[in-house]
């Protein structure tokens, strides 16, 4: 599938990282300004690229889900979406996989599944990862 070009820019953001996985990352507006650390440190946990990707994907997918639901006349309120990012070895090095789980209480299973699948089609993160990494979407 060919990429879809941005035809009207609505927002731009930038962040700069220093020192890789054990360095720092800071957004140009200062909203994000974090020390980074390798995953798994219980005594001194820090953000890492997978944490940041999970946070971005979960919030983007949540917004897409709300937009799709609104278009369908369904109120999903502030339904939680959890993105679990898996980092691991692949045949050619390292890679990612993502599990997205939306909680949609009050909706029947078929309607909830339909909304989640529709959100997966319009979410910019889903579009960016489609065909590149494994992404599983489901309803809790």
The domain that holds 68 is classified in CATH as 3.30.300.20
pLDDT band at 59, cuts 50/70/90? very high
Buried b (16+ CB within 10 A) or exposed e, 45-84: eebbbbbbbbeebbebbbbbbbebbeeeebebeebebebe
| 126 and 58 in a common domain | yes
| 96 and 106 in a common domain | yes
The domain that holds 18 is classified in CATH as 2.20.25.10
Q: How many domains does the chain have?
A: 2
| 69 and 42 in a common domain | no
- What's the pLDDT score for residue 1? 59
- What's the pLDDT score for residue 38? 85
Residues 6+ apart with CB under 8 A from 79: 62, 65, 66, 102, 103, 104, 105
pTM of the model: 0.92
Residue 45 has phi, psi (to 5 degrees) of -65, 140
* Number of other residues whose CB lies within 10 A of the CB of residue 115: 24
Spatial contact of 79 and 65, defined as CB atoms under 8 Å apart: yes
- What's the pLDDT score for residue 11? 94
Distance between CA 75 and CA 67 in Å, rounded? 10
60-84, pLDDT tens digit by residue? 999 999 999 999 999 999 999 999 9
pLDDT band at 133, cuts 50/70/90? very high
| 75 and 106 in a common domain | yes
- What's the pLDDT score for residue 73? 96
Mean pLDDT, residues 134-140 taken together: 97
Token look-up 């990494």 returns 133
The domain in which residue 74 lies consists of 48-139
78-111, pLDDT tens digit by residue? 999 999 999 999 999 999 999 999 999 999 999 9
| 122 and 76 in a common domain | yes
4-52, pLDDT tens digit by residue? 889 999 999 999 999 999 999 999 999 999 999 988 777 778 999 999 9
């Amino acid at each position: 599938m060919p990429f879809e070009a941005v035809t009207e820019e609505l927002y731009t953001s930038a962040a700069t990282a220093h020192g890789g996985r054990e360095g720092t990352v800071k957004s140009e507006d200062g909203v994000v300004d974090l020390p980074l650390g390798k995953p798994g440190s219980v005594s001194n946990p820090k953000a890492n690229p997978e944490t940041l990707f999970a946070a971005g994907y979960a919030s983007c997918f949540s917004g897409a889900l709300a937009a799709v639901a609104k278009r369908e006349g369904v109120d999903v309120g502030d339904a939680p979406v959890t993105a679990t990012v898996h980092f691991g070895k692949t045949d050619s090095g390292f890679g990612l996989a993502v599990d997205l789980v939306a909680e949609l209480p009050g909706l029947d299973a078929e309607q909830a599944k339909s909304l989640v699948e529709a959100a997966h089609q319009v979410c910019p993160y889903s579009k960016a990862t489609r065909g590149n990494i494994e992404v599983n979407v489901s309803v809790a």
